[in-house]
Structure 1
Amino acid sequence: MSIEILPDLLGVFFFAVSGCLLAGRKGFDLIGSLLLGSLVGLGGGVARDVIIGQTPAAFSNPLYLAPPVLAALLVFWLYNSAEKIGRWLVVFDAAGLALFCITGTVKALSFGLNPVASVLLGVTTAVGGGLLRDVVANQVPQLFNSHDIYAIPAIIGAALAALSYTGGWLNIGTGFGIAVVVFSFRIAAWHFRWHAPLAVRKQKN
């Protein structure tokens, strides 16, 4: 197994756990949990690969099917012993977001896309799976939650990844550092209830 796909597989796993946790909260059965975990874990990467004109890695490499299966089994056995499921869902979602905004951007750059397009594709990779997860689970997508910040950490991470890649500074250390920044920002935004300005300014009566 190539070391380059390890961050991608970890991102699939983290996102898949968030999907399986949500499935548990919604009362889905084990198959439903596996399907929702697979959707969130693989959805963003499939969208990325289709856009750049490549066969999605989820369909060309069987290794990508292992993380959702592992996530579904892990949640099946540990769900009832976990406290504050909502917190763990956010933590795993943030970890997947942090990794996917980097891997999506770097893959787009390696396929010859310009830095701006690569950042946009990195963000799409990072938020796409979570958007699909929430829609399928019949809840307001976290991406559109006006009381939270979701896409902004991914935008920052993707921009830093593009800057590091084009400058020749991107390696395991800098990539890990970017992921930590994105993860920390996302968790802090959730914990302290940071939010972006609304689409329109409300008039005071």
Structure 2
Amino acid sequence: MFAEFITILDLVGVAVFAATGGLVASRKEMDLIGFGMMATFTGIGGGTLRDIILDRPVFWINDQRYLLVCLAIAVLLFFFASRVQKRYVMLIWADAAGLAAFAVMGAEIARESGVSPLVAIILGMATATFGGLARDLVAGEIPLLLKQEVYATAALLSAATYIAAITYLDTPRLNAACLAIAIGFGLRAGAITFGWSLPRYRQRAGRIYK
């Protein structure tokens, strides 16, 4: 049952992130090929990085449903994105949902590959954030990862909650996944709504040595 849940979560996460890529393509007024590229970069980018680091078969090569989902989302948005008002708002909220889901899914896949809990958490965060980073860089926008609002921290919290719950609290994996997704999404939602951010480094004058 949990394996099926992870597969569904993976496909849904890919679809959500692909949609964010398609929405960026619509804002940039790209052609259909551009929509496909943006949806694909965003949908499978994080998982591709994770699999390469873990030295495991890249997931979308063996299971081409992921590519088909990305391309289907790209085509749909090419024809219908113009009917959606306030697309940037949709992009932000869709990205928040995908962020929390991908962090948990990436952490679970990394854990199943035999890495330590810390590495699983880091790879969960990377799975959740790399696709969006690639999307924004290709589109010539400031990546959400580099903005002041809490972003990567929400992915980190999702992955850490999941790994801690199943490793140290012996929580059933399905319950842990649902809890972790809710917590990560809640943090990101608070950042979107209230502008939450972490303290930032401020430049100071260097010490003068004589």
Query: Taking structure 1 as the reference length, what is the TM-score of the superposition?
Result: 0.92
Q: State how far apart, in whole Å, the 2-side matches of 1:3 and 1:70 are.
A: 22
* Equivalent residue number for residue 158 of structure 1: 159
Cα drift, residue 199 of structure 1? 2.0
* Equivalent residue number for residue 95 of structure 2: 93
Mind listing any 5+ residue stretches in structure 1 that lack a counterpart?
A: none
Secondary structure, aligned partner of 2:108:
helix
Cα drift, residue 170 of structure 1? 3.6
Cα drift, residue 18 of structure 1? 0.4
Matched AA of 2:162: A
Q: State how far apart, in whole Å, the 2-side matches of 1:16 and 1:99 are.
A: 14
CA contact (8 A) 2:6 2:105 kept: no
Secondary structure, aligned partner of 1:113:
coil
CA contact (8 A) 1:7 1:103 kept: yes
* Equivalent residue number for residue 178 of structure 1: 180
* Equivalent residue number for residue 73 of structure 2: 71
Q: 1:100-179, aligned counterparts within 5 Å?
A: 100-146=102-148, 148-166=149-167, 167-179=169-181
Q: State how far apart, in whole Å, the 2-side matches of 1:29 and 1:92 are.
A: 22
Cα drift, residue 2 of structure 1? 4.6
Q: State how far apart, in whole Å, the 2-side matches of 1:202 and 1:30 are.
A: 48
Cα drift, residue 4 of structure 1? 3.2
CA RMSD of aligned residues (A): 1.7
Percent identity, aligned pairs only?
32
Q: State how far apart, in whole Å, the 2-side matches of 1:69 and 1:173 are.
A: 32
Secondary structure, aligned partner of 1:39:
helix
Rg (Cα) greater in structure: 2
Question: Which of 51, 56, 59 is residue 57 of structure 1 equivalent to?
Answer: 59
Secondary structure, aligned partner of 1:100:
helix
Stretch moving more, 121-130 or 159-168? 159-168
Q: State how far apart, in whole Å, the 2-side matches of 1:54 and 1:12 are.
A: 19
Runs of 4+ in 1 over 3 A off after TM superposition: 1-4
Stretch moving more, 25-34 or 174-183? 174-183
Deviations 1:84-120, CA, capped at 9 Å, x for gaps: 1111001111111011100111111111111111111
Matched AA of 2:200: L
Matched AA of 2:22: C
CA contact (8 A) 1:161 1:170 kept: no
* Equivalent residue number for residue 36 of structure 1: 38
* Equivalent residue number for residue 25 of structure 2: 23
Secondary structure, aligned partner of 2:141:
coil
Q: State how far apart, in whole Å, the 2-side matches of 1:201 and 1:159 are.
A: 31
**Count of aligned pairs between the two proteins:** 202
CA contact (8 A) 2:35 2:75 kept: no
